[in-house]
Amino acid sequence: MEFWVIQSFNGLSYGALLFLLASGLSLIFGVMRIVNLAHGSYFLLGGYVGLSTVWRTGSFPLALLAGGLAIALVGVAMERLFLQRLHGQVLGQVLMTMGFALIFQDLALLIWGGDPYSLPAPAWLVGSLRAGALVFPIYRLFVIAVAVAIAVALWLFLERTRAGAIIRAAVDDEEMARGVGINVAGVSMGVFGLGAFLAALGGVVGGAFIGVYPGSDFEILPYAFVVVIVGGLGSLQGAIVGSLLVGLLDNFGKALFPELSYFTLFAPMAVILALKPTGLFGRA
């Protein structure tokens, strides 16, 4: 019983971290049809910028802000200066984001070196809560809280504001949106910035959770892709359900069948795709 509760909790908190990454990836895909292979790089760079901020200022909230905003700017620049020139060229855009991923990986190595770091969490997030025989680390509870807050904020933003309605219009029918006078290029840039911001936030939050180290970009990227593929591209509900599913599957897979833990993650995804090629909440 204890095993199941603790593993579920761990899966939930990992899923929460994945949600930060996958929601941005899903949004970018939904609006722009870009398969962004540099999304893991935003996570990595966000973690490193957060780390440097904590080293300089000692402030964790400042690290969240600095990491998120710096990488949002990187994302906007990438979209505006490079990706927009390839509008509609699916493959060209994918390959270009891969080029950026390689550049970011090497730049991070150049600036921060090859040593793995752990981002120091603030004192008020260290320690754990006890409930009988069960122990819940406070930091993992914090990660879950952040993800829930972001999910609610995103939902309110997309469903209840004018800007959200514009984004939904651009997701549903780009041509029609353009026709009624929506500046789709501007929306794309904003969404790319938002996606990069969320991923970088995940990097800072994850920095005190799984660490900041070279290679984490390509380690976490497949997880983010499984989330959006299972959940359905461009859907917020899909990103939420997908993150939870992947977090739980990954945790139980690792605990129960350590040898086949990736297989237990990817095989259900293949089954879902076989039944529903656009994912659980995706539209054709």
Partner 1 sequence: MAGPSRRGGRGAVGLAAAAVLLAAAPPFLSAYALTLLTQALIYAIFAMSLDILLGYTGLPSLGHAAYFGTAAYTVALLATEYRAGFWTCLVAALAAAAVAGALFAPLAIRATGTYFLMITLALGMVVWGLAFRWVSVTKGDNGISGLERPTLGPWSFAGDAAFYYLTLAFFAGAAACLVLVVRSPFGMSLMGIRESEARMRSLGYNVWLHKYLAFVLAAAFGGLAGVLWAYYNGFVSPVEVQLVTSVEALLMVALGGSGTLVGPALGAGLIVFLKNFVSLYTKRWLLILGGVYICVILFAPGGIIGALRGWGALRGWAALRRWRPPGARAT
Residues contributing to the site for partner 1 (CB under 8 A): 29, 33, 35, 37, 82, 85-86, 89-92, 94-96, 98-103, 105-107, 110, 218, 221-222, 225-226, 228-229, 233, 258-263, 265-267, 269-270, 273-274, 277-278
Residue tagged 């730049």 (tokens): 107
CB of 233 to partner 1, least distance (A): 7
CB closer to partner 1, 102 vs 135: 102
236-256 vs 138-160: helix axis angle to the nearest 10? 160
In the complex with partner 1, which residue's Cβ is closer, 35 or 208?
Answer: 35
**Partners of 135 in the beta sheet?**
130
Task: Name the minimum Å distance from CB 138 to partner 1.
Answer: 30
Closest distance of CB 161 from partner 1, Å: 27
Alpha-carbon distance of 27 to 193, in angstroms, equals 11
CA count, 13 A, side-chain hemisphere, 27 = 31
What gap in Å lies between CA 35 and CA 18, rounded to an integer?
Answer: 17
As a whole number of angstroms, the distance between CA 251 and CA 240 comes to 17
Q: Tell me whether residue 141 or residue 261 sits nearer to partner 1 (CB atom).
A: 261
* Smallest separation, CB 91 to partner 1 (Å): 5
CB neighbour list of residue 277: distance below 8 Å, 6 or more residues apart = none
Is the Cβ of residue 29 or residue 281 nearer to partner 1 in the bound state? 29
